[in-house]
Structure 1
């Protein structure tokens, strides 16, 4: 059995905001930053990263509170705080400018990064991103907002509950949720501090910045599963283009990594060729 809760051979660490932030990096070329969603980890983009690393410098962090990075001491899980930490992470790994790609919460962080640090973002790819207040809240998140259940979830995150959450997030035709995925998610969610992070994150009042999306200046590609609701990025970000996957669910980078990777590569390479992105030096 793989020890997902321990560093692997290609694990790297950078100290950012007092955290020993875990990340993986592969390939060479224009920098592409892959940001996973809540209750997830850098493994979410494993196959996409492999496909992109031929000709691109692919960087995948475990965001604060998830994976091997662990919880923030200040318990500040507001999205603009995440974006600020990501900007300092880019400094720590020697990247001045990148293409920011994010799924779910990672997409929310990516477009907040583009708002607050526009000089750092050469292009933006939003994969079933969040950030609109009317978006439907998944059942697992609603449970974590129940004041009676919050103390329980801080102490225990059952395997069966994790499997139900993964199956509800995947598309109806997807078969990606298997024993290995459930085991990986269960190990990482039950790593010290991560259960409490989940509860803290879900109960954090997030600022509604959707009215600022018109200020995003980075070229933007929106990748959306047809069944995902509450997204208007293609409408609200000037010049954004959208590609819709007919069958995918919320976990699109794992459900159809070839489709996601091909869309990212086709978007990034022409922009990088125009000189819209500056390569960072390896830390």
Structure 2
């Protein structure tokens, strides 16, 4: 199991932010901190910090930025030290030229962000790709992460077709021209259960009431 990360020996560098990167966020953040830090590879990351208590890092999904959590952070700040960041290439965070916005790239930046700010044993919470990053980084850091909350974890192509042979057959047929509506009309509890059971290591573990 990977050893917990320790705080950096020196304080993180703070990169100035222009008013356009602060004004909207300030309207909902109140007294929290809006700042940017530069990661070891030169990537500038905008983030907010608010509240006090156990460390909590919020991770947004694609096509959004840290302001996705504007209604959540004020509720969490009385109980946690809340950090939320713009992932690289989103909001006011940089993305190195030619770098992809894929899971490994974003995970490496998230890990560097946590290490740069010296955030010890964070709780990770994310939505969609943010949820996947929470889980994958927790698996990488082991005891360096206190807890994970993964909401609406994202999938990747070919999606549900990977579930099992039945899922592949039905979904491909539903998408087919002309005959697609015929196969869509065949959906029933048994077929739905057969497809969904592919998401379990033991297909018998699918809760029966989940189909009701």
Moved over 2 A (4+): 3-10, 70-74, 131-136
For the 8 Å contact 2:56–2:123, the answer to whether it is kept is yes
The TM-score, its normalising length taken from structure 2, stands at 0.59
Match of 1:65 in 2: 89
- 1:47 is paired with a residue of what secondary structure? coil
Query: Structure 2 residue aligned with 1:20, among 44, 55, 59?
Result: 44
- What are structure 2's unaligned runs of at least 5 residues? 1-17, 27-32, 161-194, 202-212
For the 8 Å contact 1:22–1:61, the answer to whether it is kept is yes
User: Hey, what's the Cα distance between the residues in 1 that align with 2:144 and 2:155?
Assistant: 20
User: Hey, what's the Cα distance between the residues in 2 that align with 1:129 and 1:29?
Assistant: 26
Whether 2:71 is the aligned partner of 1:56: answer no
Rg comparison, structure with higher value: 2
Of the structure 1 ranges 12-21 and 75-84, higher mean CA displacement relative to structure 2 is found in 75-84
What is the RMSD of the two structures over their aligned residues, measured on CA atoms? 2.7
- What are structure 1's unaligned runs of at least 5 residues? 137-229, 237-283
User: Hey, what's the Cα distance between the residues in 2 that align with 1:106 and 1:43?
Assistant: 14
- 1:117 is paired with a residue of what secondary structure? helix
The TM-score, its normalising length taken from structure 1, stands at 0.45
Whether 2:112 is the aligned partner of 1:88: answer yes
* Residues 231 and 44 (structure 1), Cα distance of their counterparts in 2 relative to 1, 3 Å cut: farther
Q: CA deviation at 1:129?
A: 1.3
User: Hey, what's the Cα distance between the residues in 2 that align with 1:231 and 1:131?
Assistant: 15
User: Hey, what's the Cα distance between the residues in 1 that align with 2:93 and 2:102?
Assistant: 17
Aligned residues: 140
Match of 2:22 in 1: 7
For the 8 Å contact 2:55–2:120, the answer to whether it is kept is no
Match of 1:113 in 2: 137
Q: CA deviation at 1:27?
A: 0.6
